[in-house]
Chain A
Amino acid sequence: MKLALISDIHGNLEALTAVLEDIENQKVDKIYCLGDVIGYGSDPCACLKLVEQNCDIKLMGNHEYVALGLISTENYNEAAKISSDWTKNQLTENDFSIISNFEMKHSWQDFLWVHASPFEPEQWHYIIAPDMAFQAFSYFDEKICFFGHSHLPQIYMEQEDNFPRMQGGHDFLPAQENRYLINVGSVGQPRDNDPRACYLIFDTEEDEVIYRRIAYDINLTQKKMSEQHIPEMLIDRLEVGR
């Protein structure tokens, strides 16, 4: 089965549309969305609609959790707080019912999908360094866990007598005998110094992981965000991908 894995869209409709167009050409069997469809960007509702229409599996992200009132924004920075309040106000009753049906995690055969970490998914732990991946590896039994949350395309490989090896996201062939944690990157707000939208294709028959980077109309997205008075810091970061 050929899967497209998308995550962290964050209300960026232009990025999502460009990614879905590219996915169309890739002839995938299914599309999985790993959460954070909303938050930060100017089009939460339109993005939710597209995800609902196009994705076969939809996972809960922390921004959906915030919108549902399941965690507070107390520890968020000012920009994140303002944008999550704004986002919440945009959502219709129907949007909330879509979100409330998102799953916490999904597993199939040797693979697991989760938004943040297989370790206490609902606590949204970050995996951005080998010691964090080391802990996460002991909380799932599958061979590969795909995740998002940090917006950093990264690959961790479990090692016997050391912390997991960490590599930046790149095309590769996962070996049968290894276990991996693979971050699929972010569609709507990449943070790895590459502003292009990022998603991942995983072919379970070919055992191949391919990262796709898709250029989209960032200026248009930024203009729409400005019109909604979304904090500047969230607008500026899109063009540098940080």
Chain B
Amino acid sequence: MPEIIVKYDNKVIERIVTEKKRVSIGRTRDNDIVLENRGVSRKHALIEFNNNAAVIIDNESLNGTFLNNRKINEEILRDDDVITIGKYSLVYHTESTDDNNDSAHFDGTMILKTKKQRQLLENDKIEKQIISKYGGSVLLGEENTDFTEYKIDRDVITIGKAKFVHVKAKGFWISGIQAKISKENNFFVLTNLGKKGKTLVNGEPISKYNLKNGDLITVGKSTYKFVEGDNK
């Protein structure tokens, strides 16, 4: 996929990898690449992709669009071309360079609406809906559980294979009460009570652990996802 590296004063501020056919550039937020600064028009320019070619088109902007330091109206982009708009420069690559991953956190990387990002966003929406439905923190049944959603509405919840526990877990080698989730100082704390190594969070055995949103709790063969609500 083509990649556009946005620089300001020669510092990389954003990397954009896109699968879109048309990428708009401008000052307002409805653009794909938003450049919020003086000298950038609301709808400044467009990059169009078709049949392996990319074309930069200036949208009659006030201060102009420059390609390799030359003012242009419409021009075909080549690898490593530099588009200048105001104080920004946009470096165009025909293929994204993955070797920059290390510095991603520093420079900022954005992938325009890829599948994975949409999925993450969708999951987050679903979790938010569940929280608002129950008005608090919830356990979601992920694997080998007899519920899909369990509201954490008391101060202590027990997990294990005994008949009287709140949350039943599967697995031969676990204790009657294998673990508990209790409210302690603003946290939901997961504590292992039974056999060692049979209570895990995100794959790691724990003895005592402050739960965070999205943590995966595994007791024996059962796995639950902890979704944090506002009832702390």
Contacts and interface: CB of A to CB of B under 8 A. Distances in A.
B38 interface: yes
Interface in B1-45: 6, 8-9, 11-14, 27-29, 34, 36-38
Interface string B84-112: 00010000000000000001011111100
Interface residues on B, range: 20 to 34
A159 B29 contact: yes
Nearest to B11: A168
Interface string A133-160: 0110000000000000000101001010
A131 B120 contact: yes
A178 interface: yes
A165 B110 contact: yes
Contacts of A130: 110
A174 interface: yes
A10 B147 CA distance: 48
B204 interface: no
B72 interface: no
A172 B36 contact: yes
A170 B121 contact: no
A92 B228 CA distance: 40
B7 to A, nearest CB: 9
A168 B106 CA distance: 7
Contacts of A169: 13
A157 B34 contact: yes
B108 A175 contact: no
B113 interface: yes
Contacts of A131: 120, 124
A177 interface: yes
A234 to B, nearest CB: 19
B63 interface: no
A128 interface: yes
Interface of A: 120, 123, 128-131, 134-135, 152, 154, 157, 159, 161-163, 165-175, 177-178, 191-194
